[in-house]
Amino acid sequence: MALKGEIMKKLKYAFLQGVSIIFVVLFILWCSDNPTANNEPDGGTQDVSVQKCTNSAQCKSGYECDPVKKICVQAKPDGGQVCNNNLDCVEPDTECINGKCVKVVDAISGDGGKDVEPLSDVSFYCDRDEDCKDTNKVCDLNSHNCVEKNRPVLFVDPQVINFGAVKFGQCAERTFKVQNVGSADLRITMIDFESGTNPEPPLPPRFTLDIPVSIPATISAGNSIDVNVKYCQDDAIVDKGNILIISNDESKPQFKLPIVSSYKDSPDFAIVDEKDFNKKLWPPTANPYQYTVDIGNAQSGKEIKKRIYFTNLAGEAILEVSKLYLTKTTSSNNTFEMKIYNNIDSQTPVKTPIYDNPAEVYFIEVIFKCNEDKFDEASVITFQTNDTDIDNDTTPDDGSTTILIKAQCNYQGPKITLDKQRIDFDTVQVNSEKTEQIVAKNDGKVNLVITEASIENPGTSLSLLVNNQPVNPPLNVTPGGSITFTVKYAPKSIETVSTNLRIKSNDSIGNDNVAIPITAFAIDPTISVDNASIDFGTVLYDVLQNCQSDVKTINISNAGFGQLVISSIELTIGSSSDFVLSNIPNLPITLDSAQKISINATFIPSVGSQQNGQPTVRTGAISIKNSDRKSNFEVVIPLSGAGKTCCPARNNTSGSCTCGTGCLYSCLQDFYDLNGDLNAPDNSNGCEYGCVKTADPKEICDGKDNDCNGLTDEGNINTLCPPPPYATTVCDNGQCKISSCSTGYYDVDGDYSTGCECQADSNDLQGVGNTCEGALAIASEIVDSSQVFVDITGKIVPASDEDWYRVVARDDIDADRRDGKDNFHFAVYFLNNPNNAYQIEIRENDCSNANVKCINDTVFEFSTDFRGDVVPGGPYEGENPCTVSCISNNFTTNCCNDNSRVYFIRVYRNPNAPYLCDTYTIRISNGLPLP
């Protein structure tokens, strides 16, 4: 395990058939700094001829512990330098461990221990009681050896106390634990510092102990006490020592607990800037030199002061300034004085030694009093420190350095005075030039000699003259005199210049090498205008309106590099006043690269069209003056626009002007614009149609233009001529007429108001009985013996209509023969024939014209139910009476013949009768006489 300040490396070896394990145990023991301690009891060492031991630390110098015999023997010459404590080890990075000087890697402040090179000797090692083969022994965790049971065992944790880096004037505390890991009471008879750990009285101790119990004290098995150690740093040195713990643990009756402080780095002296303590002024990074401070020129009887700041740049180590004093190196009555202050208290001077913690700042205040005129007063401030490489040249030194202090008393040698501290050309355009002058005056009492005057890195843009002549040093300036330097800057391209005018002279007050900064910025601004010209076009003019064009925006931008100055924006001389500029910023104005401004231009015509009707043209231009050399410092934008009369005269009209939309014409009373060109821009014939509206301008069918729209009787026919029943209408020459009737309806009376008042009969509505071939069959047959009739009612519309009926008239021959007479008497006649408007046509057996039996008549009959002359003087006709066996032309008897027929009956209108919506009724009978 790793203990703070102690590292054990364990090496295990197998022997005794691989069962026994031997551990190489290395303990880092911190030995006393007292070289006389070799003859005193130290960690349990006994001065006898045969010395028993458990480890080499118990053996005297030159001896080591034999791990097998457990006695001190002469150390082997190749086993390393033997030792009793660390003072015996003279090689760098070595410590006394187990009686030998061993090289270690200091990791106290890192991993809490030290890595130790393993030793060649081997000792028995245990970590627990079970590792001891002898059951009467237990494992001592301090020595890792097996010891007798029933004994106290002291164990201290940690086994090194490291306070690390403690700043000067500050304290730190640590705690260690004293434990009894044995099986019997542990008697502690002393816990105190080893001699030499603290300074001798009357100096105060650096280390103090806070023990919670009274010593001597008893710690029972398994218990412990916590002891507090306090360390206060009072110098710049790393401190170390031991705490002695004396107990009844026979394996280590006297135990030494090392205590140390440590730093990871070394003190680092530096002179720093009074305004920025992080800015180091001395030592330099290379080529060390003596730091020099010129505190200036004091007037007679006056004093001047100068502060010099120094600090410690180390991360942990304390810088000790053991000596700090001032020595005057010149002879005069002038005096130098020095005071030292901590920067956090500038009122209370401090004395050496000074212990400067890291980043802590001190300053020296040097006071020079002028009592005797002298220009080369000097003194030296000497530092003596613990910085062993104070000038940082990597070569060790004694930690001392000096500062040279210069001063002047009422000295008035050559003195250069410049009227400018810098030359700033600001911005200069490419391919132009600009000059600046600087006057150098001699305010001293002897000649000022300028040995050099030049521009550093002038390039091709900068040049220098003196009194308008080339510079040719040396230049002599008498007391009170002056010379003028002229610097010319003529850039050829865009650039930024930052250089110096260097003037070297014999100036006596520290200005013998003056650098006057020169700055210049070569620019190439380029004006860009997005309108090469502006034509506002034709704009309306009206005496009552202030019509104007759309606003034209003109963007003016800097498309180059560097600032562009716009000095003026205005109309050129001679421009028409009808052009108006607005939104012009306060001028002059400066535009950076890519920056732009916008202005507005408007055309407001003051006249309209000429007598020939053509617009009146106006012209002008905008002048934009600027700093762009390439534009000859001016951009001109031509302007044009034309004024047009808003409302020129038009036929039978009056006009009203609206600037945005133009003139809005309206017709005079009783005049109308039929062709829609009233408000056309050109070639309008105005209100060309004269018309007087009717009282009710609603259009009707009357042959008039009621609404004066140029059309007569136009519009929806149902509005013009509201349709009567079952009729479709038309307006014909100012009159409403029926153009058609609904299906099955007819206009018979010719009266518009009644519409199509006459509905066809049901047969016509069904589309039957309108032709001979399509004649409507009446019953199955009409038999004469039944003496039956059929009445049919119908309507003939339209006048060209005709109704056809088909009927079978049967002669019952059987009845005739039985009764001896024939009853066949077929008749068709009108029961109702208004105004004799209807006629009939009869066709027999088929529809051929050859079989027409009756036409243009109102009655038809064919009968054989009689006997007599039909034609006077002719033979008898008829079959009543009749017999089966008959005699032809026998006037007495007649044959009973079958006279059955098929008749086709047509009902139609008499063309000479009035045409009315009336009905007819016909009767068709057989076997009955006419009424």
Mean pLDDT to the nearest integer, 329-356: 95
**CA distance linking residue 427 with residue 431, whole number of Å:** 12
> pLDDT by residue (tens digit) across 173-208?
999 999 999 889 999 999 999 999 999 888 899 999
Name the strand (E) or helix (H) holding 817: helix 813-819
Tokens, residue 538: 């034709």
Share of the chain above pLDDT 90, in %: 56
Confidence of residue 588 (pLDDT cuts 50, 70, 90): very high
Q: What's the pLDDT at 862?
A: 93
262, amino acid identity: S
**CA distance linking residue 88 with residue 105, whole number of Å:** 18
Tokens 């600032």 sit on residue: 563
Fold annotation for 416-523: Immunoglobulin-like (2.60.40)
Decide if 677 contacts 662 (C-beta within 8 A): no
Tokens, residue 915: 């045409």
Share of the chain above pLDDT 70, in %: 86
**CA distance linking residue 8 with residue 144, whole number of Å:** 11
- 511, 515, 516, 521 alpha-carbon torsion, rounded to 10°: -170
Q: What's the pLDDT at 119?
A: 33
Q: What's the pLDDT at 134?
A: 76
Residue 737 has pLDDT above 70, yes or no: yes
> pLDDT by residue (tens digit) across 503-528?
999 987 789 999 999 999 999 999 99
> pLDDT by residue (tens digit) across 19-58?
232 232 223 333 333 333 333 333 333 333 567 666 665 6
Backbone angles phi, psi at 342, to 5 degrees: -80, 135
Tokens, residue 419: 């009227």
Q: What's the pLDDT at 88?
A: 54
Residue bearing the bigger pLDDT, 124 or 351: 351
Instruction: Quote the distance between the C-alpha of residue 36 and its chain's center.
Output: 79
- In the three-class reduction of DSSP (H, G, I as helix; E, B as strand; rest coil), residue 559 is classed as coil
Q: What's the pLDDT at 291?
A: 94
- Cα distances (angstroms) measured from residue 580 to each of 317, 575, 659, 837: 81, 10, 17, 96
**CA distance linking residue 642 with residue 661, whole number of Å:** 16
**Domain 527-645: CATH architecture, name and number where available:** Sandwich (2.60)
Mean pLDDT to the nearest integer, 341-346: 94
DSSP 744: T
Q: What's the pLDDT at 446?
A: 84
What's the CATH superfamily of 159-262?
Answer: Immunoglobulins (2.60.40.10)
Confidence of residue 886 (pLDDT cuts 50, 70, 90): low
SS3 content of the chain, % helix, strand, coil (to 5): 5, 45, 50
Give alpha helix (H) positions in 402-523: none
Decide if 671 contacts 690 (C-beta within 8 A): yes
Tokens 């069962």 sit on residue: 19
Residue 86 has pLDDT above 60, yes or no: no
Q: What's the pLDDT at 136?
A: 73
- In the three-class reduction of DSSP (H, G, I as helix; E, B as strand; rest coil), residue 399 is classed as coil
How many of the other CB atoms lie within 10 Å of CB of 907? 23
Mean pLDDT to the nearest integer, 846-870: 89
Q: What's the pLDDT at 374?
A: 87
Residue 7 has pLDDT above 50, yes or no: no
Adjacent-strand bridge partners of 745 = 759
Q: Are strands 423-429 and 513-523 parallel, antiparallel or unpaired?
A: parallel
Q: Which of 571, 641, 562 is nearest to 599 (CA)?
A: 571
Q: What's the pLDDT at 610?
A: 84
**CA distance linking residue 90 with residue 888, whole number of Å:** 193
Q: What is the DSSP string of 138-202?
A: EEETTTTEEEESS---EEEESSSEE-----TT-EEEEEEEEEE-SSS-EEEEEEEEPTTSSPPTT
> pLDDT by residue (tens digit) across 669-696?
888 888 888 888 777 888 988 898 888 8
Confidence of residue 803 (pLDDT cuts 50, 70, 90): very high
Confidence of residue 89 (pLDDT cuts 50, 70, 90): low
Q: What's the pLDDT at 763?
A: 87
**Domain 269-409: CATH architecture, name and number where available:** Sandwich (2.60)
> pLDDT by residue (tens digit) across 763-794?
888 889 999 999 999 888 999 989 999 999 99
Backbone angles phi, psi at 248, to 5 degrees: -90, 15
> pLDDT by residue (tens digit) across 606-636?
888 887 778 999 999 999 999 999 889 999 9
Residue spans of the domains in the chain: they are: 1-125, 159-262, 269-409, 416-523, 527-645, 653-690, 762-926
Q: Which of 232, 199, 5, 207 is nearest to 97 (CA)?
A: 5
> pLDDT by residue (tens digit) across 528-576?
999 899 999 989 888 777 888 899 999 999 999 989 999 999 999 999 9
Domains 269-409 and 416-523 share a fold: yes
Residues 289-318: b if buried by 16+ CB within 10 A, e if exposed: eebebebebbeeeeebebebbbbbbbebbb
Q: Which range has the worst mean pLDDT, 46-55, 230-239, 322-331, 524-533? A: 46-55
